[in-house]
Chains A and B, each alone.
Chain A
C-alpha cells in the first residue's frame, strides 16, 4: 500500500533564519519549505545541519527568522511542535540506570501517554524496532547498534507526524542498516510519515528520500527532488559489462555514437534509447563483450553533492 501525498502540504517553512555562535554564522539566512515525504539533509561536517534541526525543535534559540512547522507558528509554538515530532539525535544519548523498555516508556510519558498505555505502546514499538529481549537490559550496556534502535523506538513511541532522524544508521552493520532503511521507507510510504533524514551516507538518501537538501557554510545550496538531481544534462544509457568497456566505447565511437568509460565494466552511451540501444547490442556482440545491464543514465548524487558544496 502506498501513501497518497497529493495534498502537497508543507511540513515546515522557514524564512530568513539566522543563528551565530561567538560571531560565527552557523545558519545564514536559511529559507526553506519542505513538503511531505522523505527529505534527505546533506552537508559536510559543521555546515549547520544539526543546528538547523535543533533550532526547529527549539533546543537552540535562533537570532532571527520565523516560519511554520506542521502548521504551527515557529518558534513561538515550539513546545507544541515537540509533541508532534519524533527526534532521533545524532549524539549517543541515554538515561543511565534505566532499562531499554523503561527508557521508551519514559519518553512516551513525556509526550503525554498515560503510564499503562505508555508501557503497552513501548512494547509495541520495541517489537517494531527489533529490540527483542534486550529491552530489559540497562541502556548503558547496549552496543551502538542497539542504542540506535532504542533511539528510533523512542522517536516513534508517541506516533509523531514528522520524524527527524539525525545520522540514524551510524554504528549499524550492513544488514541492520538495510532493515533500518526499509523501516524508514515503510513508515513514509505505508504510514504516511514525513521524515527528515540527516546523514553523510549518500546511499541512504538514494535508498529512501524523495527530496534532497544540501547545505554548506550555513546556507541551503540545493533543494530539489532526488529525481531531478539525478537527471543527467544529456540523455544517455548506462551500460554495465563484465569487462572491456574501452573496447566497446571505441567501437561505438567509430560509428559516431558518443560515449565515455566510467570504469572497465561501466560506460555511458550518449543519446536516446531509440537510436542507441540496437547499436549497443550489435557492437557488443561484434566485440564479444558481455553486457550485464542497461539502464537510463543518472547523475550520481555524489556528483551533485560535491558541486553544491564547492560552489560559492
Chain B
C-alpha cells in the first residue's frame, strides 16, 4: 500500500491544435524505429558515399582556378558513360575543359545525380526494407490502430503519420546530405557567380528526393498494410526490386542484342542504356533512376516522356489508397 495516494486528479490544461496530432504519431514512429541498431548502422554507412561526393565537389571548387578541374573534365570526357550523360545534358566535355567555371552546374548535378542514383537509391531500398514492413503490420497484429484512431485522428492522418516516419528517414539519407554537399560547394567556391549558376540545384535535389520518397513510401506502406507479419511485407519489398531489375535487364538485353548492341561504340552503348525504354517500367529502380536523371537535367536530349511520371503517380495513389482501405476496413467489428 502506498504511504501517500493522491488519487485521481483532474486536468484542465491547454490542448494543442488538432492538426498537430498526426505529427505525434510520426514522432512516436521515429522514436520507435530509432531504437533499431541496424537502422543506425545503415544510416551511418550511407553517409560514406555522401562524404565522397562532397569531397569531389570540394576538390572541383578548390582547384577550379588551377589545372585540376580541367584534368577532371578531360578524364570525364575519356569515360564513355560520363560522355554519354554529358551529351544528353547538352554539354560538350571537350569544350568544357577550356572553361570549367561555366560547366559548374553540370559538374555538380552530375556528382549529385550519381550520389542519388546509386548509393542513395540502393541504400533507401535497404533502409525502407528495415523500417517500413513493421509500420502498419505491427499495429494490425497488436490492434494498435484502435488506440490511435480512438483519438482525434482520421485513417488518412494515421497513414500520413506512418508515411512521415519514412519521409523523415529518407530526407536524412537523400536530400539532407545532397543539400549539405551543395552548401559545402558554395562555401568553398571562390567564385561569386557560383550561386547564380547553381541556384536551381537545391530545388532539383528536393524534387529528386520527393520522387524517390513518395512512391517508395506508398509501396512500402501498402505491403505493410497487407499483412500482420512484417517479414512477409519485408520479403515482398525486396522481391519487388530484385524481380523488377531482373525482368528489366532480361527484356532489355534480349531486345538490344537483336539490335546489334555489342557492335556499337562504348558511348552509344551507354547512351542506349540511359535512354528511356518502356522495359524500364518493369523495374522501380530504373524508372525512378530515369526520373532523377530528368530532374537533374541529364536527359534533356531524350524525347520527353510522361510514361514514368504517370506510372509513379498511379503507383503512389494506389499504394496510399490501399493502405487507407486496409486501415478503414479493419475497424469493422
Contacts and interface: CB of A to CB of B under 8 A. Distances in A.
B144 A95 contact: yes
Contacts of A191: 8, 10
Interface stretch (B17-25, B82-90, B243-251, B318-326): B17-25
Nearest to A117: B13
24 contacts: A51-B333, A80-B152, A82-B151, A83-B151, A83-B152, A91-B146, A92-B142, A92-B143, A94-B142, A95-B142, A96-B138, A97-B35, A102-B31, A107-B147, A107-B151, A109-B24, A110-B152, A111-B15, A112-B17, A113-B11, A113-B15, A113-B16, A156-B8, A186-B7
A110 B148 contact: yes
Contacts of A124: 6, 9
Interface residues of A, number: 48
Interface string A84-116: 010101011111111000100011011111100
Interface stretch (A54-62, A168-176, A201-209): A54-62
Contacts of B139: 95
B315 interface: no
Interface string A110-151: 111110010001001101100000000000100000000000
Interface in A182-229: 183, 186-187, 190-191
Given A83-B15, A95-B28, A95-B139, A159 B10 contact: yes
B51 to A, nearest CB: 31
B332 interface: yes
A158 interface: yes
Nearest to B153: A110
Give the most central of A87, A110, A156, A158: most B CB within 10 Å: A110
A117 B12 CA distance: 11
Given A93-B143, A110-B152, 20 more contacts: A26-B333, A54-B331, A79-B154, A83-B152, A91-B143, A91-B146, A96-B134, A96-B142, A97-B138, A98-B28, A98-B32, A112-B16, A112-B17, A113-B11, A113-B15, A114-B16, A124-B9, A156-B8, A187-B8, A190-B8
Contact of A59 (B14, B25, B138, B146): B146
Nearest to B16: A112
Interface in B132-175: 134, 138-139, 141-154
A154 interface: yes
A93 B11 contact: no
Nearest to A87: B150
A187 B149 CA distance: 24
A230 interface: no
A2 to B, nearest CB: 15
Which label, helix, strand, loop or mixed, suits the secondary structure of the B interface? loop
B12 A159 contact: yes
A185 B177 CA distance: 57
A124 B15 CA distance: 18
Contacts of B24: 106, 109-110
Contacts of B333: 21, 26, 50-51, 54, 60
A93 to B, nearest CB: 4
A140 B138 CA distance: 11
The 10 A-B residue pairs with the shortest CB-CB distance in the complex, in nearest-first order: A112-B15, A93-B143, A159-B11, A110-B151, A109-B24, A87-B150, A79-B152, A95-B144, A91-B143, A93-B146
B150 A59 contact: yes
B214 to A, nearest CB: 25
Contacts of A158: 11
Interface in B293-333: 331-333
Given A106-B28, A112-B18, A60 B152 contact: no
Interface residues of B, number: 42
A115 B7 CA distance: 23
B144 A93 contact: yes
Contacts of A187: 8
B106 to A, nearest CB: 46
A102 B148 CA distance: 14
Contacts of A60: 331-333
Contacts of B150: 57, 59, 82, 85, 87, 89
A128 B8 contact: yes
B320 to A, nearest CB: 20
| Residue of B6, B8, B148, B332 with highest tally of chain A CB at under 10 A | B8
Contacts of A92: 142-143
B15 A128 contact: no
A121 B9 CA distance: 9
A307 to B, nearest CB: 26
Contact of A94 (B21, B32, B144): B144
A159 B11 CA distance: 6
Contact of B18 (A26, A79, A107): A79
B137 to A, nearest CB: 10
Contacts of B15: 83, 111-113
